[in-house]
Structure 1
Amino acid sequence: MKGDYLMNVYLNRIDGIDDAIISMFLSKRHLTRDKELSIRDMVYRCSQHEVTGEKPVGALVSLTEELGEHLKTLFRWGVHHYTMLRFIDLSFTVYGMHRGGQDDLDAHAMRMNNRIIRESTRVATFLTGEMSEYYQGKILPTDVALAALGIETPKELLYDGKLYVKTTNGYILQGMENSKDAQRGLYLMSIPSSFIFKIQLTEFAHVYKERKMDGSAHPEVKIAVENMTDQLADATMGYVSRSMLTEIRN
């Protein structure tokens, strides 16, 4: 089973860098339509547009001197006036994180504007022994351990006057063995789960600060968030750095 459920994290796209830059020119009435279109064109020409799987859509792939100056100013101001950084949206998919870790990130759903969709334990099916990469080699579910010992468990079990049927991780009352609602009650928190979420840069900074490597989050969650941050730094040519994320007041 080892290697079957490797966790993978992907930054798929970045949106709104041009909007964030443009927002800097509003307060002092320095924005004109010509300047706005010029900024949008400049960001477009310096960004990734094809879906290749190597670079996120919207990632910076080149830099003009003018764009570099705009980005320096944006991120210098943005750590304090962080509404500007809310114009920048990030889209991530995560494959194979254990369900408990997914729930930890799900705790930040408000900061994602509830833009997170997960594999459902109600309508999807998980099999005996499925677990995320982190738990492989660390735990043995009871069913797996009994099988390794050569102990066969009965297909049916009479308990408290009721007949139960063998299924993944335990037994379910006869007649309900095909019920997804009943099956999910036996799923372990170690099952691999995948999800997609979208989050503003300002709010991602909060998630990073809460779940980064030197924090107290679950190791697999910390690995995922650090991976997200690496990809974000690469996609912004280093302008979004760990130190910058830490400075954002949110």
Structure 2
Amino acid sequence: MEFKLFKVSGYEEAIMSLRMSKGKYYSWGNALDIQRLVYAVTDQQGFIASEEEYSAKMEILGGAPGKLTGDYETDVAEFERLLQLTFKAAMEDKHHTLMKYIDISFFTEGLHRGAQDDLDAHAIAFNNRITRFSTRLAEIDNVKLSEWYQDKVIPIYEVMKRLGVLENHLPAEVFMGHNETKFILTPFGYVLEKFAQVPAKNGLAKDVQRGLMPLGIASNALWKIDFFNLRYVYSMRSKLTKANPELKLGMEQLADQIELLVPVFGSYFRKVFTDSGHWEHVNKVRTITSEQYQQIKPVLGHS
């Protein structure tokens, strides 16, 4: 099972959003300059580009148009300076809308369907930008459990197959119901004969067979969400929550990649800026009443 950070976008919109709110820093020319800067210093995934990638992009731009200097370190530093101003307003001053301009897309590979459902519970945060491996559209010929389940449960069909029960004791077909309807044995269970081809080739047969597929089946998906809402989803599914164990592992994988690869904002992905002026893990912050605050003010040194 693996969570893979795929792409980060929207830096220039986040930067220009801050400039727009202050008015005097906006102009169409400045917007184009920032767009060119972001293009030059980031790679196709939205991470900081290598010096070689930067040089290749400068050739495409025809030199150093606008406010680009042509010097890799100088232009990267300017990008990070602008992003730092945006970061301060967004995460310290709590102008959260700025974070919503930054989009994060990632893949989940081998996550079991039950954990997908737990992550999908926050579909509104993703603005429904979720596409999952479909048990209705894909051709599936066996039950492959996610890694987390593989040493914890065994589907009954696998046990019976290993013990030779299928060949020796379990009938290949059974007749059930008032009309003695014929059902065929499949890797998922018994299925009405006309829907029993494995892997299923038509939509209706797939619809029928998926009814026997377990929540532990490994699955893949593509997800896209803005930075602000991803921090919220993380706070609900991190290792410090009561979320599904495999999902918690995946969310921490994703958080590690964001911290490493997303400039400026990434280092604080797991954290919130408290009223006491400190950064703290989002799951370690507690809300207190005004009366409780009055009691601890002397300890905090607040007047």
Shorter-chain TM-score tier: 0.7 to 0.9
2:245 maps to a residue whose letter is P
Of the candidates 42, 48, 51, which is equivalent to residue 60 of structure 1? 48
CA separation of 1:65 and 1:123: change in aligned 2, threshold 3 A: closer
Residues 238 and 72 of structure 1: is their aligned pair in 2 closer, same or farther, counting only changes over 3 Å?
A: closer
RMSD: 2.0
Aligned length: 234
Conserved 8 A contact 1:60-1:237: yes
| Match of residue 191 from structure 2 | 172
User: For 1:34-113, what aligned pairs fall within 5 Å after superposition?
Assistant: 34-49=29-44, 57-61=45-49, 64-79=76-91, 80-113=94-127
Counterparts of 1:212-231 in structure 2, within 5 Å, are 212-231=238-257
Where do residues 82-231 of structure 1 align in structure 2 (5 Å cutoff)? 82-152=96-166, 153-160=170-177, 161-178=180-197, 179-231=205-257
Q: Which amino acid aligns with 2:240?
A: D
Contact 1:168/1:186 (CA < 8 Å) preserved in 2? no
What's the CA shift for 1:192?
Answer: 0.9
Q: How does 1:4-15 map to 2 (within 5 A)?
A: 7-15=1-9
Question: Does the Cα contact within 8 Å between 1:96 and 1:132 map onto a contact in 2?
Answer: yes
Deviates more, 1:154-163 or 1:97-106: 154-163
Gaps of 5+ in 2: 50-72, 198-204, 273-280, 284-303
**Which SS does the other structure have where 1:158 is aligned?**
strand
Q: Per the alignment, in what secondary structure is the counterpart of residue 171 of structure 1? A: strand
Range 130-139 or range 146-155, more displaced: 146-155
1:236 & 1:181 partners in 2: Cα distance?
40
SS of the residue 1:109 aligns to: coil
Q: Which amino acid aligns with 1:97?
A: L
Instruction: For 2:85 and 2:282, locate their aligned partners in 1 and report how far apart those are by CA, in whole Å.
Output: 17
The Cα offsets for residues 23-81 of structure 1, whole Å up to 9 and x where unpaired, read as 111122121223223322222222113xxxxxxx1112466443333222212221311
TM-score in terms of structure 1 length: 0.86
Indicate the SS of the match to 1:183: helix
Aligned to 2:221, the other structure's residue is in SS state strand
Q: Distance in 2 between matches of 1:238 and 1:139?
A: 42
Following superposition, the deviation at residue 89 of structure 1 comes to 0.8
Aligned with 1:213: secondary structure? Answer: coil
Corresponding letter in the other structure for 2:260 = D
Tell me the SS of whatever aligns to 2:246: helix
Q: 1:238 deviation in Å?
A: 5.2
Of stretches 66-75 and 118-127 in structure 1, the one that deviates more from structure 2 is: 66-75
5+ unaligned residues in a row in structure 1: which ranges? Answer: 1-6, 50-56
Does the 8 Å CA contact 2:115/2:244 hold for their aligned counterparts? yes
CA distance in 1, matches of 2:6, 2:173: 47
Q: Which structure has greater helix proportion?
A: 2
Could you tell me whether the CA contact under 8 Å between 1:172 and 1:183 is conserved in 2? yes
Looking at structure 2, the residues matched to 208 and 65 of structure 1 have their Cα atoms a distance apart, in angstroms, of 29
Higher normalized contact order (CA 8 Å, seq sep 6+, divided by chain length):
1
